Amino acid sequence: MKTMLLIELLTEELPPKSLAKLGLSFREQMQKALATAGFIEAGNEGRWFATPRRLAMQFDDCLESQPDRVIEKKGPAVSSGVGADGTPTKALEGFMRSAGVEFAQLEKVSDGKVDYFVARMSKKGGRIDETLAEMVEAALKKLPVAKLMRWGAGEAQFVRPVHGLMLIHGARTIRGQVLGVSSGDITRGHRFMSVGVINIPRAGDYEAILEKEGRVIASFDKRRAMIIEQLDRAAGTRTWLRDDALLDEVTALVEFPAVYEASFEPEFLAVPQECLILTMKANQKYFPLMDGAGAVGISGAKLTNRFLVVSNMKVADPTNIITGNARVVRPRLADAKFFFETDKKTPLSARIGKLSRVVYHNKLGTQGERVDRLVKLAATIAQRIGADPMQAEQAALLAKADLVTDMVGEFPELQGIMGRYYALADGEPAAVADAIQSHYQPRFNGDALPLGGVACAVALADKLDALIGFFAIGQIPTGDKDPFGLRRAALGVLRILMETPLPLSLPELIDAAAAGFASELFTGDWRSASAVPPGDTALHNFFKERLRNMLRDAGHDHRAVDAVLALDPARIDQVPARLAAVKAFAALPEADALAAANKRIVNILRKSGGEAGAAVNPALLQEDAEKALFAAVEAAAPGIEAQLAAADYTAALKALAGLRGAVDAFFDGVMVMAEDAKIRSNRLALLSRLAGLMNRVADISKLSS
């Protein structure tokens, strides 16, 4: 019989930030276990439910009994399972005992390399009642729980104490015990709005009964959608500040959501809105209301003194809820106002000395020492891009000073943001203040870049200093471990150079940043790593891989990306133009033939062992085809060089199309590896000259399949 299966675990309040992950993982583990056992089809994903006090799921078309199955058990190899006399070895005898079969029942199977024995046993399908509780308990042990709890006098452990269990198949309760709790057909609803203990007669009635009698919206996704709809309706013409992480957390905190509007005193709006917003979101889980569209910090989006509360109670008169939340948030806002006003009494410049007592890293010194490096490096970069080096120095000097303010001490997320406000209050130029805030950007994928030369100079200095320092002391990201955010820093450097764009050499920037560190920090060859090819460096390879992934994620053809990066371009700002040129070249009818020819040339030159002459000697050209190729190369070279100098990479690559006929004729009629050493060397020199011309924009041999 196929019917719906319901599983519910009733607990005390589960961790809100991980509730959705727990619900999904529980469903995935049970789906895998039930499908493996044959109770459901492999594609039956079921539905999952998660509320503050329960994890549950439903699976349609779940069998009461497994189908009969043939279980295959792999045994020893034939060579080691049978002795010279043809009798089973001890290893094979042990396998037969464990499988419960005789020698005559074994089959020989080959995996293409080795012949081995297999025992095939028929097993009658068992009832779901016999194994469901065990499967549930095993699934719970696999959930992503950081810390387990033990409660009462028992030995059961889970993320929170368990108080109820339902295992219902159709209209039948399956008896079993999970984490010391016996199954039944009752559950509990909302702590205050439920009718009391709730009976679930059938698995399919679960969600509807829980909502009607228990006042609980069991589906996490449905509750989240309800909250968004209510927030939209309550905001009206205003905008509620959307935060998906906060939405998930609030969804995990309520069982029957209701949104209400509350307010605070307008006088608090004198405090930077980022402080007020963070206070409301982080401490109170409120959604601030803005009087314009857009994100915080964007023109047109200004904080109002109104906010939206997602309550767990839907009542006819919400006055007490509204006034209570307004009363609770007031002290938080008062603290923010106090921090802001107190911090402004001490200029940022007067706080710099305290940074010498703040450790940056035990091998890299203090924040004060780091600031000294940033000042010099930012000024160097600013000078190279035509920005004001004095302003870059000042911004770098003050960039970390807000770390020792009361506001940032309370809310570390505001570092940089508060530095900007305090710098403006101190009378610093707008460019300096903006650079203090934006030198942390981009902080994540898709984040805005710092604007202006001063801001870019300080942002590059900050990221390069971190990369050089941590690579020098061997703190190189491995696998998914990147405790110092170096992948993010490298992507930030690449994006600033490419998207701003800035005409800077990345290797020169790395050298300038490394010059700020004491030489004794770099023990041995700090740039080398065994994981990269000889001649490469760990940091160079790190940047290259970040750039490769970034370009591929942006939708560029992987062959074009590989072709451009094969030349290790120092100017990251030129990479987009090179990619566009390669794309245009690849569309030409001559592209495939020239790419294949270039690949052939590269291979010939590599195998020649350095026999190519330094330059082509026209007097040694014998065949008409090689003379024609030399003439074509010499005729095309000046134009291509001029186009390269003007950074017109597309035109330079397209000009190569005119060489196809001469190249094809050369390979059809000329033997490169001639017996005469001088002739051979001269022909290799001609190919080297051609390869040098063809591969100035990208290694087009990478385009050859």
Checking if the pLDDT of 136 tops 50, the result is yes
pLDDT at 111: 81
Checking if the pLDDT of 372 tops 90, the result is yes
- 8-state DSSP, 443: -
CA geometry: angle 315, 319, 324, nearest 5 deg? 110
Residue predicted with more confidence, 558 or 532: 558
| Rounded Cα distance, 510 and 606, in Å | 31
Give the SS3 label for residue 620.
helix
Residue whose entry in the numeric block shows the structure tokens 């008409």: 624
- Do 211 and 218 touch, CB atoms closer than 8 A? yes
Which pLDDT band holds residue 83 (cuts at 50, 70, 90)?
confident
| Rounded Cα distance, 382 and 389, in Å | 5
pLDDT at 146: 85
Average pLDDT over residues 470-489: 90
Our CA dihedral for 325, 330, 336, 337, rounded to 10 degrees, sits at: 150
pLDDT at 534: 34
Identify the helix (H) or strand (E) that includes residue 177: strand 177-178
Helical segments of 554-623, H only:
558-565, 575-586, 591-607
Checking if the pLDDT of 334 tops 60, the result is yes
Which pLDDT band holds residue 362 (cuts at 50, 70, 90)?
very high
| Rounded Cα distance, 7 and 30, in Å | 10
Average pLDDT over residues 149-170: 94
Q: Which residues 6+ apart lie within 8 Å of 17 measured at CB?
A: 248, 249, 252
Q: Which residues 6+ apart lie within 8 Å of 632 measured at CB?
A: 658, 659, 662
Give the model confidence (pLDDT) of 90-124 as tens digits.
Answer: 888 898 888 888 888 888 888 888 888 998 877 78
- Rounded to two decimals, what is the model's pTM? 0.81
Which pLDDT band holds residue 612 (cuts at 50, 70, 90)?
confident
CATH T-level assignment (fold) for domain 576-703: Isoleucyl-tRNA Synthetase; Domain 1 (1.10.730)
Q: State the CATH class of domain 349-555.
A: mainly alpha
Average pLDDT over residues 492-498: 97
> What are the CA-CA distances from residue 465 to residues 253, 403, 513 (Å)?
42, 18, 6
Checking if the pLDDT of 2 tops 70, the result is yes
CA geometry: angle 392, 394, 395, nearest 5 deg? 65
* Cα 111 versus chain centre, distance: 39
| Rounded Cα distance, 386 and 453, in Å | 7
Which pLDDT band holds residue 433 (cuts at 50, 70, 90)?
very high
| Rounded Cα distance, 608 and 628, in Å | 23
Most distant CA pair in the chain: distance in Å? 103
pLDDT at 122: 78
- 8-state DSSP, 281: I
Give the model confidence (pLDDT) of 175-194 as tens digits.
Answer: 999 999 999 999 999 999 99
Give the model confidence (pLDDT) of 443-462 as tens digits.
Answer: 998 899 999 999 999 999 99
Which of 14, 26, 266 lies closest to 137, judged by CA?
Answer: 26
Which pLDDT band holds residue 357 (cuts at 50, 70, 90)?
very high
pLDDT at 299: 43
Checking if the pLDDT of 312 tops 60, the result is yes
pLDDT at 704: 81
Checking if the pLDDT of 412 tops 60, the result is yes
Checking if the pLDDT of 21 tops 50, the result is yes
Our CA dihedral for 82, 85, 88, 91, rounded to 10 degrees, sits at: -60
pLDDT at 643: 93
- Do 403 and 440 touch, CB atoms closer than 8 A? no
Out of 424-433, 485-494, 595-604, 623-632, which region has the weakest mean confidence (pLDDT)? 595-604
Q: Which residues 6+ apart lie within 8 Å of 637 measured at CB?
A: 693
Give the SS3 label for residue 142.
coil
pLDDT at 247: 97
Checking if the pLDDT of 670 tops 60, the result is yes
Checking if the pLDDT of 544 tops 50, the result is yes
Is the omega angle on the peptide bond into residue 501 within 30 degrees of 0, that is, cis? Answer: yes
Give the model confidence (pLDDT) of 244-283 as tens digits.
Answer: 999 999 999 999 999 999 999 999 999 999 999 999 999 9
Residue 29 identity = Q
Average pLDDT over residues 532-556: 81
Out of 37-46, 111-120, 507-516, 521-530, which region has the weakest mean confidence (pLDDT)? 521-530
Give the model confidence (pLDDT) of 140-151 as tens digits.
Answer: 999 999 899 999
Checking if the pLDDT of 535 tops 60, the result is no
pLDDT at 222: 98
